[in-house]
Structures are given as C-alpha cells and as structure tokens.
C-alpha cells in the first residue's frame, strides 16, 4: 500500500498537575523539512525529538508542537505577600513624611510592579520519568499521523487505479479509428493527385510511398509502451510506500507516449481521445506529488 505525505496526529497525557500535549501535521515535500515549537522545559530534547520524527516519517514538510497545559492555580505567578507589605509600609511612611498623597486606585498596581513582588516559578529540571511520558505522547502523535497517511494512501491508490483504468479504456477506444485513418489518408492523397494536380502516376509507386508514409504514423509501439507503463505503475503501487518519486517518473513516461500518439494520430476523433487521456494523466501527476 502506498502512503500519502499528508497527515495529522495529536496525543495528550497527564503528568502530575499538568497535561502534556503533542500535535504533528505533514504535507508533501521532496525532502524531510521539520519545523518545531517546543515548551522550554522540553527544549533540551529537541534534537532527540527531531531524530524520532525523521526516522518514523522519512519525508515531508512537518510541523510539530509540544506544549504543557497546567491548572490555573498552579500556573499563576505567586505574589510575595511579605515583600508587598514591606513596600506598602515604606510608601505610607514616605507619603506621611513628605506629604505626598497616595491614591488607593493606583497604589496596588504600583506595588505589583515593584521588584520581586511577583516571583517567577523556579526553573524546573526535566526528570527521566517525565521525559518517558513526553516521549510516549510524541510517539503516539506520530503513530496517529502515520495511520492518517495510510488512510489517505488507500484513497490515493483507489484514485490512481481508476485513472489508470480510464487511460487503458481510452487507449483501446483508439483502435477502431486506426484503419479508418489509413483509408482517409489514402483518399485525401488520391483526391489531391487526381483533382488538384490532374497528373498520371505510377500506382505501384504510389502504394509503396503510401505504406512508407503510414508507417511513420503507426502508433503500435507507442500503444505497447503506454500499456507497459500503465502495468508498471500498478506494480509499483503494490510495492508499498517509498515509491512516490518512482511513480512520478513513470507518469512522465506515460505522458511522452500519449503526446507522441497525439502527434501521429492525424485524425480528429483520435486526437479527442488523446486529450481525454492527457486529462486523466494530469490528475495522476497532481496527486502523485503527495505520495511517499
């Protein structure tokens, strides 16, 4: 089964009073391109996280987020009450000494802006136990993304088979017009010789030249090569993931044979069929960019 490069995964886990969250999404890219936003507590593990993502996802443009959701009571910045009280007493004393009025409205905001009244949480160290929890969340998010890729890959494979079958059917529909085309070419040349030029000609030589001309317009080789490419495309899809670039190359070769068939067709209905084949192939080319 082929895999899509498009995917999404999210996972969470509870550790103590905080919720650890990981979210990852990917789009198509020729290489592995990872962008991360990681909580400061886990930033020391960024290289390890990147390595894990690259190993499991192989290719794609990946956006990864890892953050912490804490209870409001725990996340709130503590207020140093003793220091606040001391600052307040100093301000009251200065106000009385120098006869400076203190506004009750602005007093509290002023006190809260004074140094060290709002005390930051002390820097925390990442324990091995917590890191194992984080790693489990990261792995789960990546696993969900891979499941998403599998689902998208199955949908792509179904779409590709449909388009390949359509091209195959269109290729078969050309056959009835090939003999008709030969007769039309023969008639057109004869009409030109007899009506427009009005000259006698060697009928044997004419037949030889006509055969030579028609051989140049023969599309049997192109049809055979296109059929081979269609079958090879199907076989490559069955080989599993990691075949995206190869499928792209096969699609290019299919395009060459269809274009050559169109240039040799020399028949309105055959050219219409070629246009339809090009349309089916274009849809394959658009989607094959998203295959791993």
How high is the pLDDT of residue 192?
A: 67
Q: Label residues 98-125 b or e (16+ Cβ within 10 Å = b).
A: eeeeeeeeeeeeebeebeebeeeeeeee
Residues with pLDDT less than 70, the chain: 71-77, 119-124, 189-203, 205-215
What confidence score (pLDDT) does residue 104 get?
Answer: 79
What pLDDT was estimated at residue 122? 47
| pTM of the model as a whole | 0.72
d(CA 280, CA 140): 38
Pick the CATH number of 7-74+128-149 from 3.40.50, 3.20.20, 2.60.120, 3.30.230: 3.30.230
C-alpha–C-alpha distance, residues 74 and 144, integer Å: 30
Quote the CA–CA distance of 154 and 147 in Å, as a whole number. Answer: 11
pLDDT of residue 251: 96
For residue 22, the Cα-to-chain-centroid distance in whole angstroms is 20
| Torsion 106-107-112-114 (CA) sign | positive
| Cα(263)–Cα(257) distance, integer angstroms | 10
As to burial, measured by CB atoms within 10 angstroms (0-12 exposed, 13-18 middle, 19+ buried), residue 74 is exposed
Q: Where, residue-wise, is CATH 3.30.230 in the chain?
A: 7-74+128-149
């Amino acid at each position: 089964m082929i895999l899509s490069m498009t995917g999404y995964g999210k996972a969470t886990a509870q550790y103590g009073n905080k919720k650890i969250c990981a979210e990852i999404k990917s789009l198509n890219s020729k290489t592995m391109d990872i962008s991360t936003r990681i909580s400061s507590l886990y930033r020391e593990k960024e290289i390890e996280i990147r390595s894990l993502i690259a190993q499991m996802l192989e290719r794609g443009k990946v956006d990864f987020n890892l953050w912490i959701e804490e209870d409001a009571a725990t996340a709130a910045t503590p207020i140093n009450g003793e220091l606040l009280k001391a600052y307040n007493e100093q301000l009251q004393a200065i106000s009385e000494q120098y006869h400076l009025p203190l506004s009750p409205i602005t007093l509290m905001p002023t006190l809260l802006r004074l140094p060290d009244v709002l005390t930051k949480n002390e820097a925390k160290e990442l324990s091995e136990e917590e890191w194992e929890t984080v790693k489990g969340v990261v792995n789960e998010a990546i696993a969900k993304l891979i499941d998403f890729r599998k689902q998208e890959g199955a949908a792509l494979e179904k779409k590709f088979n449909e388009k390949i079958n359509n091209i195959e059917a269109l290729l078969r529909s050309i056959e009835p017009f090939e003999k008709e085309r030969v007769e039309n070419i023969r008639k057109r040349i004869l009409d030109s010789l007899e009506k427009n030029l009005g000259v006698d000609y060697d009928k044997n030589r004419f037949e030889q030249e006509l055969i030579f001309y028609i051989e140049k317009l023969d599309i049997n080789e192109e049809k055979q090569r296109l059929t081979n490419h269609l079958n090879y495309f199907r076989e490559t899809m069955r080989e599993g993931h990691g075949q995206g670039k190869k499928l792209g190359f096969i699609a290019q070769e299919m395009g060459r044979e269809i274009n050559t068939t169109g240039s040799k067709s020399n028949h309105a209905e055959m050219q219409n069929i070629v246009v339809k084949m090009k349309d089916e192939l274009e849809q394959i080319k658009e989607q094959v960019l998203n295959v791993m």
